[in-house]
Every structure is written in C-alpha cells, then in structure tokens.
Structure 1
C-alpha cells in the first residue's frame, strides 16, 4: 500500500476491509487511517490494528489520498457536505454503499472529482472477497489501479459498467447472508441425524467452500458439476428432486429480486 487510505466510518465493512488488508500486508498499518463520529468504534479499530484514528473527517481527507466512504447510504449527504471543500484533484473518492451512484457523489462538488464506485462483500475479512468496481471519467488509470490493487489484496475484483452495479448486492454483496443461512440449514439437518453441532457446521461449511472452489477453478458449468454428484437412482438426486419440489431455485431468485428492488429504492431515496 503506497497510498494513504482513509476510511470514513468504523463499521463492519471498514473492519472487514482493514482486517483483510493487514492480513495481506501487515506492514501497511502506517498508511491506514479511520475516522468516525463517535470515538469508541474508531478507538476499537485503532487498538486492534494499530492504525491512526480521528473524529474529524476533514483532517482525515487532508491526510489521505484514497477516501473510502464506509457509511450507510443515508449518511452520504452529511459526510459529502462536510468534506467537499477539502477534496482536491489528488483524492480518489471510493463509495462502498449500495444504491449510491457516481452522479450522486459528483453533484456535491463544483469541480472535477475522481470517483470510484465499488460493491465489496464481507468475505474480504478472510481474503476471499468479491468486489465489483466502476469509475467516472475523471479517474485516471493509475488512480483506478490503486483502488483495484487495494481490493485485489483482499479477494477478487471485476470492473463493470455502472448500469450493472445495482445488480451486484443481490448476487455478491448480500449473498453471503443467504449462504450462511444455507450452511445453518445443512448443519441443522446434520444435527437432526446425530452429528454434533460443531461437526455439522464444519462439514457444511467445508462442503460449500469446496463446491465454490470447484466452480471457480474447474471452469465447468455448475449444472455439470451437480450432475457429477448425482448417481442414477441415488441419494443425491433424491435430495435435488426434493429441493426442486420446494421451489429452491425460484426462492433464491425471488430473494435476489427483492434485494435488487430494495437497492434501487435506496438509491432513489438518497438522491
């Protein structure tokens, strides 16, 4: 990390990103700063990761090069109004909030401002995040690469058109929650049939991890991988049949539609 990175907001996403960054580069702590409107959360991060903290967003902006706006969408207006006068041409403003567009951020400034819109997910905490990235025309290649390098150090990164960004929370940003529910359900089934809770979570989580790795590394269609597990008249195809009778895929897609609708609604509310 050659750039100084400032996080405005000390919530869960900041914690996840900072933890992931320092797992990747333990010596990078001197280039990480965090600000928060209350002292307690900022102090917790500072003590755990030995990074600098402040309750003054403007001073953080003056110190740092990359400014990550890690606050709730409803707080963006307040934060942008506060820092707009100290943001210069050197700064790169990075959004991590669902529904907040580049245009919404740009309208706070009466000058060209580099803006990168991202949508990471919490597995950045363990270096296995997935982050979608898009940027405005003022963002130079080196600036974008600095942001890409930041997120590549904590997982995979994909540059997409901004028109697709509202679709990302449902499939990536929010989807770990669905996966945790699935793991919990698998574990409950294991406990029902005699496994201890500890062993059930271990078996379920490792199965999900391994299955995901197969999709990413074997470059086979998920349907083909599923078919490899399903023997004729076997137990797996019986389970698949039961899931299909319960509208398993339809329920997942319906949940994703609800998530996407909410993201779009949030964007309209804040803009």
Structure 2
C-alpha cells in the first residue's frame, strides 16, 4: 500500500468496535499495530485485544493521541459525560465517527463545537462476518473526502450508503433491526422443513443458505426482486402455491409494518 495506513481508534471496545477493527485488518485497510481502543471494562479491553491483536488502554486521551480516525462506540446513555471528557482532546486532524445508536449529531456538536469533523453511522451486526449493511451521514465540518474515507472503511466489512441524517431512523428500522427479521424467517423456514419431515440441522442449513443465495442474486444481478421471484415461479407449480400461502398470511404487509414500527421506535428513543 503506497499511502500511509490510517490510524484508527475506538472509544468503547464492545462487539461492534471489535468486529469493525477485525474487519479493517482482514481487509488490509490498516494494520493491527495502527489500531487502539479504550474501554472502562477490563474484559472488554481483553476481548478486543485477543480478537484483533490491537492495543488497548483505559484512557480515552491515549486514543486521541494515537489515532486520527476515532470511532465513538459507547452506549447512548454514556455519551453526555464522555463528550465533556473528550472535548479538550478533539483536534482538527481528528475525524469522529459515531456508531452510538439514536444520538443526533447536534448532541455531539453542541459539546464539541460545529468545527468538529463528524460522521454518524448506523451499522448492523453482520459486520461480525464482513457482511454489514451500513448507512452514514456527514455533519459538522466533515468533508466529501471524509465521506469517501468512511465509505472505504465501511465497505471493508460489507455495503455502505450515504444518506441524510433524517433517514437514519428508517435505516435503523430496516437494516439495523433487519437481521432479526431475517433470523425469524430462517427459523420459520426451518420449522416448515421440520414440519414436513426434514431433520432440524438440515432444515436450518437449507433455510439459511437459501436466504443467503436469494440475497446474493439480488445484489449481484441487479435485477428487481419481483423479476427474480417470477423466474422461480412456474405456472401451476410448487412455488406459486407457497407464495399464495404467504400472501394469504399477509407476509408483505407484516414486514412493512415491522420496518415502520422499528423506525418509529428509533425516532422515540432519539427524542
């Protein structure tokens, strides 16, 4: 790599921070030697260090001294006191990336100042396996180049799209909470297989791989999901019989309702 490797810090060394750090090193975005994380909990620091091989510290000041890109990965309720603590450490060379769910950028900028380079990100847990769906919004003094950098970082662990901050609640309702909807669908398909005589382990493997395959078909062919569905659905065949049952059960409307309910809840939590 010709360019210098980015120096990346994490305030909070939980599961998401650990997954991101591991993803960045696996994708050769940067080396473990260029990563540092702080956490108040010793076990959090230990797990981060064991998983990523990166440095850990109890001190947030150490992270700001060592890194240029700082992921703020703490629980939302911890943020007000944290922002007051780190305010003196934030310099123009620092790009702050918040993955604190539901916390508006104005909360950060109110304490840190509007000249702070800030990006708010909504990732999801499949970043643990390099298949996240993330959305991000730029704020404060963040530049287009900062946006490109965040795009590159997040693309190392999945897919990333830029949106306006007002759309991040909808992202939370769709892809933030969405893995749980997928797990429910996999479990239900597996139940159906068991109902019709398949052993549980085989049914679950087939169900999960089937959804993975369908998702890859959508992403890699660029075809509309409806067109791909039609291609599997022959006249008078098995698939249309199954689809009819799903339509009778109101699957489509129920899933839309789920995204709406989760989005509304995200809006409430962000108040």
Does the alignment reach a TM-score above 0.5?
Answer: yes
Which residue of 1 is the match for residue 83 of structure 2? 80
SS of aligned partner of 1:139: coil
Structure 1 residue 259: Cα displacement = 0.7
Deviation at 1:143, TM superposition (A): 2.7
Q: Is residue 92 of structure 1 aligned with residue 95 of structure 2?
A: yes
- Answering whether residue 149 of structure 2 is matched by residue 117 of structure 1, we say no
Structure 2-normalised TM-score? 0.93
Question: Which residue of 2 is the match for residue 195 of structure 1?
Answer: 198
Per-residue deviation, residues 46-91 of structure 1 (Å, max 9, x unmatched): 0222110011122212221111111222222122121111111111
Corresponding residue to 2:235 among 232, 235, 249: 232
Relative contact order: is structure 1 or structure 2 higher (C-alpha 8 Å, sep ≥ 6)?
1
Q: How does 1:207-226 map to 2 (within 5 A)?
A: 207-226=210-229
In the alignment, which residue of structure 2 is the partner of 1:39? 42
Runs of 4+ in 1 over 4 A off after TM superposition: none
User: Corresponding residue for 2:141?
Assistant: 138
Match of 1:185 among 179, 182, 188: 188
d(CA) in 1 for partners of 2:114 and 2:193?
58
What TM-score results when the alignment is normalised by the length of structure 1? 0.93
Aligned to 1:249: 252
For residues 27-46 of structure 1, what are the alpha-carbon distances to aligned partners after superposition, in whole Å with 9 as ceiling and x for unaligned?
61111111111111111110
Q: Do 1:62 and 1:87's aligned partners in 2 also have CA atoms closer than 8 Å?
A: no
Partner of 2:69: 66
Query: In structure 1, how many angstroms separate the alpha carbons of the residues matched to 2:14 and 2:222?
Result: 36
8 Å CA contact 2:29–2:153 kept in 1: the answer is no
Greater CA drift, 83-92 or 142-151: 142-151
2: CA distance between counterparts of 1:38 and 1:171? 31
* Long gaps (5+) in structure 2: none
The answer as to whether partners of 2:97 and 2:119 remain within 8 angstroms in 1 is: yes
- The residue aligned with 1:263 is 266
Separation (CA, whole Å) in 2 of partners of 1:163 and 1:27: 31
Quote the Cα distance in structure 2 between the aligned partners of 1:149 and 1:167: 23
- Structure 2 counterpart of 1:106: 109
8 Å Cα contact 1:120-1:131 kept in structure 2: yes
The total of aligned residue pairs comes to 268
Contact 2:18–2:52 (Cα < 8 Å) also in 1:
no
The answer to whether the Cα contact below 8 Å between 1:7 and 1:69 also exists between their aligned partners in 2 is yes
- Checking the alignment, whether the CA contact within 8 Å between 1:129 and 1:156 is kept in structure 2 is yes
Unaligned runs of 5+ in 1: none
Instruction: Indicate the SS of the match to 2:88.
Output: coil
**Deviation (angstroms), 1:111:** 5.6
Once residues 28 and 70 of structure 2 are traced to their aligned partners in structure 1, the CA distance between those partners, rounded to angstroms, is 19
